Structure 1
Amino acid sequence: MQILQIGKALWSFDYEIAGYTLADGTGALFSLTPPPHHREGEIILTADSLVIDGYNYLHIPLDKLEQIYLGFDDVYKRSFIKNNGLFCQPLRLRYKTKEGTNTIYLIVDHKFFGTNNQLWFDTIKQLLSDE
């Protein structure tokens, strides 16, 4: 298994973020805290899968991805992130499971001024187009 990219991920399922309110994250808008998330771990991208390993483990085969999207939506709102998301946009992955479909939101390699989400988005998109 050849590792194409590796980083640190902050992530949540869509239903977790859906329960998030602006009041929950008021401190995050003004302090050095990271964007809203419920889990953290190391993220690894290979030619055929994405793995997040930390307190929780998640394995997503790339052939199970239904959608990859970079940006804000009805669930992960721009108002949840300081500077209205100027330096940070979530990476949304929707993928098939035995039970149906799951959606996660990722923030990869969060830094004070930005993330590596664009790089990960472009790389995954390229891998999917090569199939």
Structure 2
Amino acid sequence: MADKFILQGNVKWSYGHELAGISQSKKILAGLVTSTPVLLRHNGYIALTTAELIIEGVEGDEDLVVPLDNVKQVYLGFDELFPVTAEKSLGMLWQPLRIEYYLSATETQYLYLIIDYNGIYTYDKAWFNTLTEILQ
């Protein structure tokens, strides 16, 4: 990734439908047993420009580009698909970043991101603040 980006980092991410397929008991177990966000399926590098969010997958994982014009909502926090019980600190140290974006005129998709997780906290709040500023 080049230095023309506003922000860039490492990312763990999943689509909403992938998180919906994980049982509640596994989500709770993830918060009790481990300190890593194991619920998220994909790994890669993430970058933000004024026009798009770019994810490059690592180790054969998929790539994703989300035009910022397609973003419907940016949300920082837990919800029914990524509950607070799935995180060991119960949200006191970090919260996931959720982006809802349009796939078509009538269909949206959720993307859950954990950016630059170091075992204690993430940089999701900085990404949230920057995204909301760009989208205003």
Provide TM-score, normalisation by structure 2: 0.86
Alignment of 1:47-58 (within 5 A): 47-54=50-57, 55-58=61-64
Cα distance in 1 for residues equivalent to 2:65 and 2:71: 11
Q: In the alignment, residue 5 of structure 2 is paired with which amino acid? A: I
Equivalent residue in structure 2 for 1:89, among 86, 95, 98:
95
Q: In the alignment, residue 69 of structure 1 is paired with which amino acid? A: Y
Structure 2 residue 105 is the aligned partner of structure 1 residue 67: no
Q: Which moved more, 1:75-84 or 1:117-126?
A: 75-84
- Spell out structure 1 runs of 4+ moving beyond 3 A: none
Equivalent residue in structure 1 for 2:108, among 83, 101, 105:
101
For residues 53-89 of structure 1, give each alpha carbon's deviation from its aligned partner in whole angstroms, at most 9, with x where no partner exists. Answer: 1111110010100000000112110011112122121
Q: In the alignment, residue 93 of structure 1 is paired with which amino acid? A: I
- 1:35: how far off? 4.2
Cα distance in 2 for residues equivalent to 1:35 and 1:82: 11
The residue number in structure 2 matching 1:113 is 120
- 1:22: how far off? 4.0
Cα distance in 2 for residues equivalent to 1:128 and 1:74: 25
Provide TM-score, normalisation by structure 1: 0.90
Q: Which runs of 5+ in 1 are unaligned?
A: none
The residue number in structure 2 matching 1:124 is 131
Structure 2 residue 26 is the aligned partner of structure 1 residue 24: yes
- 1:93: how far off? 0.3
The residue number in structure 2 matching 1:43 is 46
Higher strand share: 1
Change beyond 3 A, Cα 1:28–1:78: closer
Aligned partner of residue 83 in structure 1, secondary structure? coil
The residue number in structure 2 matching 1:10 is 12
Q: Which runs of 5+ in 2 are unaligned?
A: none
- 1:34: how far off? 2.8
CA RMSD of aligned residues (A): 1.7
Q: In the alignment, residue 108 of structure 1 is paired with which amino acid? A: I
Give me the identity figure in percent.
Answer: 33
Aligned partner of residue 26 in structure 2, secondary structure? coil
